[in-house]
């Protein structure tokens, strides 16, 4: 098991290294040049040359990459000239808020989707199954911003029970001090994720239900609840672990939309604003960060998979 995790981490490092190469190349593909993109189109050639010399951009590309990598390894994601602060500062400041939003939504989504999926599988082709399937299709096919707007329209505008905006204090403590403001962003992200997960959980559980070992479990005289909990749950979760891993980029993208919609003080919002304003260092820094998050998500999913399924541990 330890060996398996070490190999998996090794693979994750290789993937992240690949991402840094792509980001590095993208930096050099900017329209004009990095210097023009950062100090503006009206800068004189002398100013550009000075900027390049100052930032080491006149050195050969491989050397520049080594420097870039070295900075990344030391947690230096770059410097935003537009905001006149380091990208790290921006990210470190906002990241806990994102972890809160995405983490809480993901956990809630799993807590809802797993029982709902199993319940649908057990009562498949009955009324509750059709109803749950209908709801999840509606949610799944709805764009994230539309779902968010509908929730705002209903709960914030019509009923006036919840604020339409996320907590506006930028620190994690501030965000937590206003839990009511978190409800709608978390609900939006959770509902979309539940729709996806519950569909897969349903088919995975139906698949497990038809397996011979479920018949063996019944032949032992076990209670239905025991059979579902002990024999069905773990076997049905195996494909879900992989699904959660590969859905990570999608969930992060939904998170970005939700942050923009609710003006949530997170990295997603910073990323969105930076992209709109042409604040390239922030865009690149966050790109590296999202890649790391995705790879980490998959790593955790793979480990969860190995924990759930004894057959893969010895590979």
Partner 1 sequence: MSVLEIDGLRTFIKQRAGVVRAVDGVSFAIEPGETIGLVGESGCGKTMTGLSIMGLLPNRGFIADGAIRFGGADLATVNEAAMRKVRGNEIGIVFQDPMTSLNPTMTIGHQIAEVVSEHRGVSKAAAMARAEEVLALVGMPRPAERLEYYPHQLSGGLRQRVMIGIALACEPRLLIADEPTTALDVTIQDQILALLDELKQRLGMAVLLITHDMGVIAGRADRVLVMYAGKIVEQAVTGQLFHRARHPYTGALLASIPRLDQPVKQRLYAIPGVPPDLANPPAGCRFAPRCRFATDECTGSEPALGGPDPAHPYACFHPIGPGSALTPAEVTEGHDRPGGSGAPSDLLALDHIVKEFPVTRGGLLRRAVGTVKAVSDVTLTIRRGETLGLVGESGCGKTTIGRMIVALERPTSGRVLFEGQDVGGLSGAPLRQVRKDLQIMFQDPYASLDPRMRVGSILREPLQIQGLGSAAEQRARIADLLREVGLSPRSSALYPHEFSGGQRQRIGLARALALSPKIIVADEPVSALDVSIRSQILNLMRRLQAAHGLTYVVISHDLSVIRYLADQVGVMYLGKIVEVGSRTDVYERPAHPYTLGLLNTIPVPDPEVERAKQGVAVAGEIPSAMDPPSGCRFRTRCPLARDICAAEEPVLRSFGGEHQAACHFPLQTPAGESDVSGVPVR
Q: Does 225 bind partner 1 (CB under 8 A)?
A: no
Q: Does 217 bind partner 1 (CB under 8 A)?
A: yes
At closest approach, how far in Å is the CB of 89 from partner 1? 35
Which of 159, 173, 221, 225 touches partner 1 (CB under 8 A)? 221
95-100 contacts, C-beta under 8 A, 24 or more apart: 95/266, 95/267, 95/289, 96/172, 97/170, 97/172, 97/175, 97/264, 97/265, 97/266, 97/267, 98/255, 98/259, 98/266, 98/267, 98/268, 100/172, 100/175, 100/176, 100/182
| Contact (Cβ atoms closer than 8 angstroms) between residue 178 and residue 167 | yes
Which of 1, 5, 14, 61 touches partner 1 (CB under 8 A)? 14
Write out the binding residues for partner 1, residues 57-96 only, by CB under 8 A: none
At closest approach, how far in Å is the CB of 210 from partner 1? 10
- Over its C-alpha atoms, the chain yields an Rg (Å, rounded) of 24
Q: Does 7 bind partner 1 (CB under 8 A)?
A: yes
Write out the binding residues for partner 1, residues 232-261 only, by CB under 8 A: 234-235, 238
Which of 126, 130, 230, 246 touches partner 1 (CB under 8 A)? 230
Per DSSP, 310 falls in state G
Which of 222, 243, 292, 300 touches partner 1 (CB under 8 A)? 222
- Give the C-alpha distances (Å, rounded to integers) separating 100 from 49, 97, 157, 173: 43, 5, 25, 11
Q: Does 213 bind partner 1 (CB under 8 A)?
A: yes
Nearest to 284 by CA among 11, 10, 26: 26
At closest approach, how far in Å is the CB of 234 from partner 1? 5
Binding site for partner 1 (CB under 8 A): 7, 10-11, 14, 211-213, 215-223, 226, 230-231, 234-235, 238, 308-311, 315
């Amino acid at each position: 098991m330890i060996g398996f995790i070490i190999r998996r981490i090794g693979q994750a490092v290789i993937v992240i290294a690949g991402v840094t190469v792509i980001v590095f190349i993208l930096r050099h593909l900017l329209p004009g040049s990095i210097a023009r993109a950062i100090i503006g189109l009206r800068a004189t050639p002398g100013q550009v040359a000075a900027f390049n010399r100052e930032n080491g951009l006149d050195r050969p590309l491989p050397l520049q990459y080594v420097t870039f990598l070295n900075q990344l390894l030391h947690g230096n994601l770059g410097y935003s000239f537009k905001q006149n602060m380091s990208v790290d500062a921006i990210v470190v400041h906002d990241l806990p808020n994102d972890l809160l939003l995405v983490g809480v939504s993901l956990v809630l989504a799993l807590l809802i989707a797993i029982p709902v999926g199993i319940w649908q599988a057990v009562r498949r082709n009955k009324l509750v199954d059709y109803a749950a399937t209908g709801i999840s299709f509606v949610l799944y096919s709805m764009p994230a911003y539309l779902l968010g707007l509908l929730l705002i329209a209903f709960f914030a505008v019509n009923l006036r029970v919840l604020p339409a905006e996320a907590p506006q204090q930028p620190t994690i403590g501030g965000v937590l001090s206003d839990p009511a403001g978190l409800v709608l962003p978390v609900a939006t992200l959770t509902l979309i994720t539940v729709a996806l997960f519950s569909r897969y959980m349903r088919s995975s559980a139906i698949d497990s239900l038809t397996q011979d070992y479920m018949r063996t479990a019944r032949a032992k005289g076990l209670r239905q609840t025991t059979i579902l909990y002990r024999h069905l749950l773990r076997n049905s979760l195996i494909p879900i672990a992989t699904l959660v891993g590969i859905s990570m980029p999608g969930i992060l993208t939904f998170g970005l939309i939700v942050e923009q919609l609710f003006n949530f003080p997170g990295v997603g919002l910073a990323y969105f604003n930076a992209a709109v304003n042409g604040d390239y260092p922030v865009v690149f820094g966050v790109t590296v960060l999202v890649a790391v998050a995705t790879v980490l998500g998959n790593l955790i999913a793979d480990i969860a998979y190995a924990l759930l399924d004894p057959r893969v541990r010895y590979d």
